[in-house]
Chain A
Amino acid sequence: MILTLAIHTVREAIRKKIPHILISLGAIVLAISPFISTTHEPDALPKIMLTVFFQAVALLCVTGIILFSAVSLPHDIENKTIFSILSKPVSQFKFVAGRTLGFALLAAFILVALGLVNIISVFFASAHLPPEHRGIFKARKEFGAHHFHIQGKIHHEKEGIRWVMGGREGIAIWHFSHLHEKAKNIPPFEVELRLKLDSSRNVADTIPLSIGIEGIQSKENKTELVSAKADETVTLGIPPEIIRKNNDIKITVFPTLTADYIGTAHNTIKVFSIQKGFVFNYAKALAITFLKFLLIIAIAVMGSAYLSAFVSILSAFAVFLCGHLLDFIKDFSLLLHHSGAHEHGLPGMIKKPSGFMIYMDYFFKKPLEWISFILPDFKKFDILSYLLKGIDIPIETIGFSAGYTVLYVAICTLISYILLKKREFF
């Protein structure tokens, strides 16, 4: 029954050409995106395309979905088509749930369609990129070092960076642990070094480094000589046989020449496991974007269960914007709090809070606190940076946003149901 209502909603949208319009508008925006002028970094174009999709196109779709979902219920009531539904054995709850599900299906369809366009064009745009610039196509999971020390002499330490002189005078050592749990399905691993480099040689274009990777359990090790350039990250694959036998590894680095120096810190080196890859990561990003849409749909439906079409559109947009500005709202309410706290420092005479401050407190701070408590926090749905850095979106992020959305949608649907139940249809 809920599904029937949902399909009905989708059909309504299709007959009213809503997906057609949104998908073509979205495709136009995506088609324009390559012409945005960018920096001259080789991978700027695919990055711009991803950004445009997850910011501009998503915003466009949200707008369309809000317009449609906030309007549909008030239209049902205004055109009295709701009579023909509620005179059937359909409870108000099923009605709301069916509508919401319908909008969700619609949103999913539009997202997937535009997402396909986006991902295909991203692949096209980066077909000729050299391997070292294909970072966004990885979906890596990051491991920080759990221990870092210098064996031998630290040449000097400045601003938290420990400098080591070459020729084995000092060796920087990082330990990484718990890289994988099970022996099966071990993904490839790589290590990324962002060292500071210096040299007392006159012409030092590149600096030769000795990088050792050693398994803690099997004691196997492998050493590689790499010539590093200043300001460039060095990426090395970790031999699979070491990873297979070891859960924990040790990485040692020193410049081979005594005239060279490296600057190191705890987070200079990171280990990444390369997960399923870009397409899967992209799918996860789409899923989270979809959850965000679902949340807005539930809010739009809730508004439209009580308000007129126009007012519910406005309020859904307001919630959407506020959800994005939530940090700002929080800061603002904190700010008010701070200026209130300030008074305690003042002498007893003027310590008594002024009328103005009480006024501010009741009319701004309290409501703002409440708003920031009630509003959805869309910060939790921000996945673009993961994609741009080629980092695997952690499963916890998905779980969290899914849980958040489910809770929110459940509450909104319940409220919509109660509002409709109380409502009269003239």
Chain B
Amino acid sequence: MEAPEAVRANPFVPYLATVKEITDLTPDVKLFSIELNDEAARKSFDYKPGQFAFLSAFGVGESAFGLTSVAYRNSGIEFAIRRVGTVSSALHELEPGATVGVRGPYGNFFPMDEYKGKNIVIIGGGIGMAPLRPVIDTIIDHRDDFGNLTIINGARTPRDLVFASEFEAWSEAKDTNVVLTVDAGDDSWTGRVALIPAVVKELKPSHHNAVAITCGPPIMIRFTLAALKELGFSNEQIVTTLEGKMKCGMGKCGRCNVGEKYVCVDGPVFNFAQISKFIEQF
């Protein structure tokens, strides 16, 4: 059914959508594959790596989540969601077939075109991998457009590594190195046990013709930033996505500002040259 004009004109009204598939990624992260009900909406819903959308669990509320999929594959919208608040918990309770609401996309995005020809270092901690996955997919799907790809993915324990089922495919791609690390291993873990910043220092990715994209908890970002700068990366070469309390995505609710910038409109993607100029330092 076509949505009436008044409905579509209201930017707070989400598209109705159906949960197609829910996959456990870790004990507290699920991957939701969602399809918009309206065919025209499906076609027009275009987005880029780094952008986010609001997902509604009707009756509980809506929250902003990074889009975890890439639009050009046309295979539905995906979100990797950790159970942390009321909305994410309600979403975790859903079964395939459930009706949800989607509005978006919002925010800026990773300038993938500018990264062409460069060596890319992706550094993700925990659920921080969620907004980085579309970056990885874009590079792997257009492998010859980019230089070497290094993926450093860390988590508290082996069970907390998100997208584990995709590591193999990633590492089989040309000139791609996937490095996994955990804070604490378990009996079957034979890989690295180290904090992400230590792994960065050990691997020593070169800053020449490179860009580092990192996302994760604030403390991890702080030390990863320091490690990258030690290796010669400039502020411009280090990119991250910021989180904020978001209620609108349109620069209206006033919840996500950092100084005069709104994370929802001016971000969420910023490089550290931009961040270091923010009047408020979080």
Q: Do A and B bind each other?
A: no
